[in-house]
């Protein structure tokens, strides 16, 4: 088991500055790097900072390859609830990344075969150099819902009621909210050379405490598998860190 490096900053804008600086540094040192991206609200300030950097410094994304963690089943890229739409609108449309080098799990058609191929594509690209993750309030990473074993590769999942309810805020009443998704597995995530987990806001406070006080990885807390990776950095704002910082045994 490894202990993650923990960085606590005052707010989500500072989280975005720290994480974007890591990404920019990696691109500058290795223009052909492979980045793993996440969606949801957690990485948003990072993407804002990356777009600002591109406008100011023209960091060159042309040779970068990207793989996204997950996607809802049955939503096409033109659906504003799809993660493909999210990534293009929040990041890819604003930088000079080569669209041929963007990968988002296929969510339509033969998704089981697509899941297998996704894993091969990651391996053929040389593996992910830096994987960005958010965390669900139930401890999921990507869409690896509890319980999830350590050996899972990219696969199709049934979303839990907790995740469906929590993500309902992004859907209007006329939108179809999927109950299934395709996600990189725990083993796919652990293959990344470096991982940054972002947690923002008080809704993440209890789960972050649970994760950071766990002594042994277990399937009911999917994020805990990260303790088996030797290069994980957790970047949190003060609100997400609150319960962990004020826990009783924190001496």
Instruction: Give the residue carrying structure tokens 């990485």.
Output: 43
What is the spatial distance between Cα 135 and Cα 167, in angstroms, rounded to a whole number? 13
Q: Which of 79, 81, 138, 167 is catalytic?
A: 138
Q: Does 67 interact with ligand GLP (rule: CB under 6 A)?
A: no
Find the binder of ligand GLP among 105, 142, 185, 222 (CB under 6 A). 142
Rounded to whole angstroms, the Cα distance separating 235 from 250 reads 19
Dump the DSSP string for 159-192: PPHHHHHHHGGGS-TTS---SEEEE--HHHHHTS
* Min dist. Cβ of residue 71 to ligand GLP (A): 9
At residue 64, φ and ψ (nearest 5 deg) are -75, 145
Q: Which C-beta is closer to ligand GLP: that of 61 or that of 86?
A: 86
At 129, give phi and psi (nearest 5°). -75, -40
* Sign of the CA dihedral running 50, 72, 185, 215: positive
Indicate whether 40 belongs to the interface with ligand GLP (CB under 6 A).
yes
Edge-first strand order for the sheet with 155-158 is 70-72, 180-183, 155-158
Closest distance to ligand GLP from the beta carbon of 133 (Å): 6
Is 158 one of the annotated active-site residues of the chain?
no
User: 195 pairs with which residues across the strands?
Assistant: 131, 232
Sole binder of ligand GLP in the list 22, 41, 79, 117 (CB under 6 A): 41
Neighbour tally for 161: CB within 10 Å: 9
- Which of 101, 138, 160, 167 is in the footprint of ligand GLP by CB under 6 A? 167
**Considering the rule CB under 6 A, would residue 154 count as an interface residue with ligand GLP?**
no
State which of residues 20, 42, 65, 148 lies at the interface with ligand GLP (CB under 6 A). 42
Between CA 15 and CA 193 the distance in angstroms is: 21
Which residue of the set 145, 229, 237, 242 is catalytic?
Answer: 145
**Minimum distance, C-beta of residue 96 to ligand GLP, in the bound complex (Å):** 25
Identify whether 60 is a catalytic site residue: no
SS3 140: coil
In terms of CB distance, is 28 or 76 closer to ligand GLP?
76
Binding pattern to ligand GLP, positions 20-39, x when CB under 6 A? ------------------xx
Q: Is 222 in the site for ligand GLP (CB under 6 A)?
A: no
Is-catalytic flag, 145?
yes
Among 134, 139, 185, 222, binds ligand GLP (CB under 6 A): 134
Q: Among residues 70, 71, 237, 242, which one is catalytic? A: 70
Active-site hit among 129, 140, 144, 229? 140
Q: Is 111 exposed, middle or buried (0-12, 13-18, 19+ CB in 10 A)?
A: buried
Residues near ligand GLP (CB under 6 A) are: 38-42, 69-70, 134-136, 142-143, 163, 167
């Amino acid at each position: 088991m490894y202990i993650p490096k923990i960085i606590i900053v005052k707010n989500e804008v500072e989280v975005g500055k720290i994480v974007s600086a890591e990404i920019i540094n990696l691109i500058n040192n290795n223009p052909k790097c492979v980045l793993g991206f996440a969606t949801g609200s957690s990485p948003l300030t990072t993407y804002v900072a990356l777009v600002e950097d591109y406008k100011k410094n023209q960091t060159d994304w042309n040779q970068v390859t990207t793989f996204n963690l997950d996607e809802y089943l049955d939503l096409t890229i033109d659906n504003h609830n799809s993660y493909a739409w999210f990534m293009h609108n929040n990041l890819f449309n604003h930088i000079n990344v080569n669209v041929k080098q963007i990968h988002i799990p296929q969510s339509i058609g033969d998704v089981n075969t697509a899941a297998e191929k996704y894993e091969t594509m990651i391996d053929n690209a040389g593996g992910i150099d830096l994987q960005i993750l958010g965390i669900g309030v139930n401890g999921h990473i990507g869409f690896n819902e509890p319980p999830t074993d350590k050996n899972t590769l990219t696969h199709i999942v049934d979303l839990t009621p907790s995740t469906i309810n929590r993500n309902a805020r992004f859907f209007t009443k006329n939108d179809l909210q999927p109950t299934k998704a395709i996600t990189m597995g725990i083993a796919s995530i652990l293959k990344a050379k470096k991982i940054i987990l972002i947690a923002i806001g008080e809704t993440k406070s209890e789960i972050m405490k649970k994760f950071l006080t766990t002594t042994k990885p277990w399937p009911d807390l999917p994020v805990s598998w990260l303790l088996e990776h030797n290069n994980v950095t957790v970047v949190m704002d003060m609100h997400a860190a609150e319960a962990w910082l004020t826990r009783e045994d924190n001496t």
